[in-house]
Structure 1
Amino acid sequence: MTTENKTTVIQSLQIGLNILEILAKEKEPLKFTEIQNLTSMTKSNLYKYLATLSQFGMIYRNPHTNTYTLGHKLVQLGNIALGHTSLIEMVIPYFKKINEQANLTVLLAVPSPQGPLISYISSSVEYGINIGAQMGTHLPLNCSTGIIFSSFEKNTIMKEWELEELMKFSKSELEQFKEAKEKTKQLYFATKKEPLVTHVSSFSVPILNFDEELLGAITVVGITETVPKTLDDPTGQFVLGIAREISEYYGYTRKPLKGI
């Protein structure tokens, strides 16, 4: 006779967390009746949960509007959690997995006023190739990383960089870039053939946070013949799955990354 192992959960805690998720997903503060409609809870039970969550600072009730929002305690805990692990520390073990899976070089680019900044590189053991960039290098708009940033970066600090880069494009290059950008917004995947160095190509995927802000881009680089050209490739799917895991750590839950 076999016994099936089941994860034991505390139902009351699960309900409380569900209330927090509902408040997190809504753009505006919610009234008691709105929360009740979304949870299907009785008034008495919901009141107890809201009172408890308020007492511990997990939610806040505005006394003037009688509406509820997420509380200061969650902000405090979130900042502590993010402070424990930097983005670079987070990606290191994942990048090693990509190295092992695909034998390709992986780099992390983060936002800066001068363009995507390479802040970490994990080189493939088998192929020590010149990828045309080093730690601290700012990448141009017309590469897979640049397309990701143009597609998902919301911060205005990079707009001047993008406008300056666009002025370098010919009319045909501008049309190609616009097409690539629209496709990238749909697939969460950008690819570019030999943008910096002959025979070296790349593809990139975004890392997003809870507010759909771009934290950085994962870019995979290698000899042109070895780099996936479409998202259908298993390596592309693998890397996009890793980007999703990292994004989920930073709270990206609103919608799944395309292609997965």
Structure 2
Amino acid sequence: MEAVKKGTTIQSLQVGMSIVELIAQQGKPLKFSDIHDLTKITKSNLYKYLNTFTQLGILYRDKESGSYVLGSKLIEYGMAAADQENVVDRISPYLQEINEKSSSTVIYSLWTNNGPMIVKEFNANQGYNIGAQMGTLLPLLSATGKVFAAFMDDQVVHEWKEKELKQISEEKVKQFEEECTFIHEKEIAFAREPLVPSVSSAAFPVFNYKKRLLGVVTIVGFSDIIPHSEEEELSKYLMDMSKEISGSFGYLPHAK
């Protein structure tokens, strides 16, 4: 087969992917008019792109608001690209057990170029808003974000960390750095109401046998039932589950 010449591209595909990337970067649902204002693509062509991506599952259009967000197909692609070990299927029984034990929503997140993304959710109570759902990108100061910041290769997370740290006070930056030291030692992180009032979280890493971070498990619920220190019984349970789940991938915490 003849090699593809460097620089040979399909312009319409580039334009289409630039629309998807724009929606991803905005981090919020966008209406047709918003996308049109940002892209300056003619309305007739923009409609064709959005309609095609929606049919393919690349984008999702809310029927009530008409707003567009990233679709479930992108999450599937991201999961496949992020890790070929089929981690989600393997740990799902653990997530369900933690869900039942903690009476809280349990989420599993993977790293993406734009930060940690939720790819699996077990919700104990569909009636309240935890401030996140499948496909949500989580901030640095969430329990999930702290674990990724603590254990991911710094070259991978550097740009994301720098961008996030610029948005918080010096006092919170110092507190975050101290927490990272704690997280390295205890392998658990806590966040009090990072996204929604009265809703807090606790998270732990999932490692493989090389202590490479595969993802992060997080419990999310009302602040009065989510632990805030490693001394609490639920925290001890989570740290035990962390060892058990990572152990299933060959990780030995005390191995030299």
Contact 1:109 1:145 in 2 (8 A): yes
Residues in 1 aligned to 2:111 and 2:239: alpha-carbon distance in whole angstroms? 19
1:139 and 2:168 matched: no
Deviation at 1:217, TM superposition (A): 0.7
Alignment of 1:62-73 (within 5 A): none
Identity %: 32
* Structure 1 residue matching 2:241: 3-state secondary structure: helix
What corresponds to 1:164 in structure 2? 163
Partner residue of 2:116?
116
Counterpart of 2:106, as a letter, is: V
| Count of residue pairs brought into register by the alignment | 173
What is the TM-score when the length of structure 2 is the normalising length?
0.64
Aligned to 1:187: 186
8 Å CA contact 1:112–1:157 kept in 2: the answer is no
Identify unmatched segments of 5+ residues in structure 1: 1-81
Amino acid at match of 1:221: V
Displaced runs of 4 or more, over 3 A: none
Aligned to 2:86: 86
Q: Is the 8 A contact 1:111 1:158 kept in 2?
A: no
Q: Scaled by the length of structure 1, what TM-score is found?
A: 0.63
Q: Secondary structure at the match of 1:119?
A: strand
1:103 and 1:183 map into 2 onto residues whose CA distance is: 26
Over aligned residue pairs, what C-alpha RMSD do you find? 1.7
Question: Gapped runs of 5+ residues in structure 2?
Answer: 1-82
CA radius of gyration, larger in: 1
Give the deviation of 1:129 after TM superposition.
Answer: 2.0
Please list the CA deviations of residues 124-153 of structure 1 after superposition, one character each: whole Å capped at 9, or x if unmatched. 14x632111110111010111111111111
Q: Distance in 2 between matches of 1:254 and 1:234?
A: 20
What letter corresponds to residue 120 of structure 1 in structure 2?
K
Residue in structure 1 matched with residue 206 of structure 2 by the alignment = 207
Cα distance change, pair 151–91 in 1 and its aligned pair in 2 (3 A) = same
Q: Secondary structure at the match of 1:92?
A: helix
1:228 aligns with 2:214: no
Question: Aligned partners of 1:173, 1:191: CA distance in 2, in Å?
Answer: 14
- How far apart, CA to CA, are the structure 2 residues paired with 1:189 and 1:254? 13
User: What letter corresponds to residue 91 of structure 2 in structure 1?
Assistant: V
